[in-house]
Amino acid sequence: MRTQPLSATALSMAFLIVLLVGCAPSTSTPILPAGDATAHMSTSTATSAPEWTVPVGSSPIFRAVHMDGNDATNRDGGVRALSPDYFAWLRDTNVNWVGLSAELHVSDSMDSTVEIIHSGVKVPAFADEDLVRMFREFRKHGINVYLTMNFDPAESRKADHPVKRWQMGCPDSYLADSSIQPEYWPWAPDHPDHERFVSEFWQTYTEQVVHYAKLAQEEGVGLLSLGTETECLFRTRAGSLGANDFQDEIRAMVEAVRAVYQGPLTYDQHYEAFMLADDTHVDALWEDAGLDTIGISAYIPLVEAPPTSVMSVEELEARWESIFGQYLIPLHEKYPDKTILFTEFGYTAWLTSPFNAADHWETLMLPSDSNGNGVDDGQEVQANIYQALFNVMNRHPGVLGGAFLWGNFMASDEQWRDSYFKLRGWDIRWKPSELVVRDQYCAWIGPECTSQPVRSTATPWPTVRPPTPTLASEAIESGLAIYDDGLELGWRLSEYLSTIDMEFAGTVAQGASSIKVEAHEKWGSLKLTGMKDLKDASYTWLSFMVNPGDIRGFDPSVTIFMDGKNFTYVYSKDYAEGKAFPANTWTRVTIPLADLNPDGVSFNSFYFETEAPGTFYLDDIRLVNP
């Protein structure tokens, strides 16, 4: 429970609280105003006098966060409540821009009608009235809004005729994806329905963007993006992504949007396309479409292999310097009249996030401190990445106009404490990275900023995770067996995206048989369900043997369930002997039930899931009380 402020000792490490007062960006650089970027726009907004507004500041750099779309805590009451806690957090973090995603949908690869769907899908679009309420509340406090169109792929990628967001518009996706059949891919120029399909798709897509553009004009939205990470769609010239292009369709969309919206336009381009621009020619989009701002979805790998120790600010600065020198500075010199923004940006609080920005984003926050400095390794890495970027931005004024920090959903303090605060996501709220961001945003405001203390009353995570004790073999052997050459009485098995052999004799850790799990694709899993609630049982550990076969990067997650509802989950490697899974080798894993069930909820199931397809084996699964 949250009973005291965040620990100043744990969070005030020297590497976190350096106040950046480096060279401010040149005010001659054509960057959108950092204060009210919508002053030139007509608006019917009428709001009451605010209790506070964020300072405009002396620097034009965006002080931004991104709260995603109608998902997570945004959908689960955060947006409807317009929580004062969230707006106070924005104020205290010195934020003056917030990004929002407007969800668009197609049902499958043959669906040429782009729709705005408000219910019956995993991530529905915000109701217009909720968007208006948010726009007005943000603007009341002097916070500008960036709104981007986003195709949500949750349903279409699992359809009988699937399509992933990044495949839309690609002429030959069926060649690289065996789940796509050529007859169901009208994006191919030789498909008999290609011309009708493309025409109707772009017509309905443009209609939906115009709908949001009208809303943006009426409510003073400061920046509007036509799309997110759909590079095959937003091609104005032929290149490695296809011999055709959609320059005419994109220009028609821009013209239709500009007829109803007077603010600046952009597109959120995936970093891979941005970094391969010479081959794809996607960098011509900004010129050919006449867009005002260059947007980059910047989850850029900073290293070539997963790091095994905490990367320092200095090491990360060197990588950001390379990215600026190789990509961003030349782009700025090519388009000096266009602001460059990281329209999405973020790295999880995980040791290897410099290699994979999304690594373990839903993993439970169980602190680990390998370098013994009193700060969790993952949180330290995340803070160092942000500090390094800000340092390099200050050394190259005017090149990068700001970054929308991903994953900072709208939620009350209580709602945040009980949800994403427990995970290693991209968010910065109540993490050491929050202090880095808060202090740099304060520096960009200038002398009028008084950087407030962190206002949350959240109890910090322990700064050092105690080592997992080693259970004696006698304690394990005397534990309650769940699987020992077969499922014990009172337990049943179910599988998902996998085939299970409960009596496999070819690879065993002990006895005559093991459980063979053939995961057909990512998220292949096995669930073991008992007959009773295990919360109040006398057992405190889950122990099992696992053999990864030849699956590369094997690290299965373990979750507890009750009546179909899952709770927190952990990754097995953290609890494995030697913290590694050698190929084709049996390894013992022992997980404290307190880590799987920190809130003490009722549960009756264990769920084993792999993120990589392939065959692995389980044996000697037991509940233990040493």
Q: Which of 334, 244, 236 is nearest to 282 (CA)?
A: 236
| 508 pLDDT higher than 80 | yes
The answer as to whether 248 is a domain residue is: yes
Question: Per mean pLDDT, which range of 237-251, 405-419, 426-440, 551-565 is the poorest?
Answer: 551-565
The answer as to whether 39 is a domain residue is: no
Determine the average pLDDT of the residues in 41-60. 70
- Mode of pairing for the β-strands spanning 223-228 and 587-592: unpaired
More confident residue, 373 or 263: 263
Q: Residue 624 phi/psi, 5° resolution?
A: -130, 145
CA distances from 144 to 38, 134, 222, 436, 582 (A): 8, 11, 6, 21, 51
- At 333, the amino acid letter reads E
Same-domain status, 158 and 289: yes
Q: Quick one: pLDDT at residue 568?
A: 65
User: Of 430, 445, 460, at which residue does a domain stop?
Assistant: 445
The answer as to whether 284 is a domain residue is: yes
Question: Is there a contact between 381 and 428 (Cβ–Cβ < 8 Å)?
Answer: no
Q: Quick one: pLDDT at residue 145?
A: 98
The answer as to whether 514 is a domain residue is: yes
| 388 pLDDT higher than 50 | yes
- Mode of pairing for the β-strands spanning 614-624 and 514-519: antiparallel
Q: Which of 336, 347, 405 is nearest to 63 (CA)?
A: 405
Same-domain status, 580 and 616: yes
Same-domain status, 150 and 288: yes
The answer as to whether 278 is a domain residue is: yes
Determine the average pLDDT of the residues in 49-64. 87
Same-domain status, 155 and 213: yes
Joined together, the tokens standing for residue 554 give: 């094997």
Same-domain status, 282 and 386: yes
Same-domain status, 405 and 549: no
- The domain in which residue 185 lies consists of 58-445
**Domain CATH for 530:** 2.60.120.430
- Three-state SS letters, 395-440: HCCCCCCEEEECCCCCCCHHHHHCCHHHECCCCCCCCHHHHHHHHH
Same-domain status, 440 and 482: no
Q: Which of 466, 422, 460 is nearest to 598 (CA)?
A: 422
Joined together, the tokens standing for residue 370 give: 């390998």
**Total number of domains in the chain:** 2
More confident residue, 556 or 10: 556
Joined together, the tokens standing for residue 322 give: 């390379």
Highest mean pLDDT among 145-159, 201-215, 471-485, 533-547: 201-215
Determine the average pLDDT of the residues in 422-427. 89
User: Of 445, 464, 492, at which residue does a domain stop?
Assistant: 445
CA distances from 221 to 18, 80, 241, 297, 592 (A): 33, 19, 32, 20, 49
Q: Which of 561, 571, 543 is nearest to 601 (CA)?
A: 561
Q: How far is CA 165 from the centre of its chain?
A: 16
Q: Quick one: pLDDT at residue 46?
A: 46
Residue with tokens 């950092």, as numbered in its chain: 34
Joined together, the tokens standing for residue 70 give: 């109608």
Whether pTM exceeds 0.85? no
Q: What is the mean pLDDT of the chain?
A: 85
CA distances from 384 to 102, 223, 320, 431, 536 (A): 31, 29, 12, 12, 41
Q: How far is CA 551 from the centre of its chain?
A: 25
CA distances from 443 to 33, 87, 94, 450, 452 (A): 17, 20, 10, 9, 12
Joined together, the tokens standing for residue 540 give: 């405190």
Q: Quick one: pLDDT at residue 315?
A: 98
More confident residue, 172 or 475: 172
Confidence of residue 563 (pLDDT cuts 50, 70, 90): low
Same-domain status, 407 and 511: no
Highest mean pLDDT among 350-364, 394-408, 421-435: 394-408
More confident residue, 568 or 107: 107
Q: Quick one: pLDDT at residue 455?
A: 45
Q: Measured between alpha carbons, how far is 450 from 526 in angstroms, rounded to an integer? A: 53
Q: Measured between alpha carbons, how far is 117 from 121 in angstroms, rounded to an integer? A: 8
The answer as to whether 48 is a domain residue is: no
| 496 pLDDT higher than 90 | no
Which H helix or E strand runs over 503?
A: strand 498-504
Same-domain status, 102 and 139: yes
Q: Which residues contact 325 (CB under 8 A, 6 or more apart)?
A: none
Share of the chain above pLDDT 90, in %: 57
Q: Which of 497, 381, 486, 501 is nearest to 431 (CA)?
A: 381
Q: Quick one: pLDDT at residue 534?
A: 75
Q: Which of 444, 313, 329, 331 is nearest to 396 (CA)?
A: 329
Q: Residue 569 phi/psi, 5° resolution?
A: -140, 160
Question: Per mean pLDDT, which range of 44-53, 125-134, 312-321, 402-411 is the poorest?
Answer: 44-53
Q: Quick one: pLDDT at residue 328?
A: 96
Question: Is there a contact between 242 and 188 (Cβ–Cβ < 8 Å)?
Answer: no
Confidence of residue 462 (pLDDT cuts 50, 70, 90): very low
| 35 pLDDT higher than 80 | no
Share of the chain above pLDDT 70, in %: 86
The answer as to whether 611 is a domain residue is: yes
Question: Per mean pLDDT, which range of 233-237, 531-535, 582-586 is the poorest?
Answer: 531-535
The answer as to whether 13 is a domain residue is: no
Same-domain status, 335 and 297: yes
Handedness of CA 20, 26, 29, 30 (dihedral sign): positive
DSSP 558: E
Question: Per mean pLDDT, which range of 188-202, 317-331, 525-539 is the poorest?
Answer: 525-539
Confidence of residue 370 (pLDDT cuts 50, 70, 90): confident
Determine the average pLDDT of the residues in 187-214. 97
User: Of 445, 463, 497, at which residue does a domain stop?
Assistant: 445
pLDDT digits (tens, 9 = 90+) for 117-143: 999 998 999 999 999 999 999 999 999
Residue with tokens 């962190």, as numbered in its chain: 454
Determine the average pLDDT of the residues in 365-385. 88
Question: Is there a contact between 605 and 562 (Cβ–Cβ < 8 Å)?
Answer: yes
Same-domain status, 227 and 100: yes
In sequence order, which ranges of 289-337 are alpha helices (DSSP H)? 313-323, 329-334
Same-domain status, 480 and 582: yes
| 448 pLDDT higher than 70 | yes
**Domain CATH for 359:** 3.20.20.80
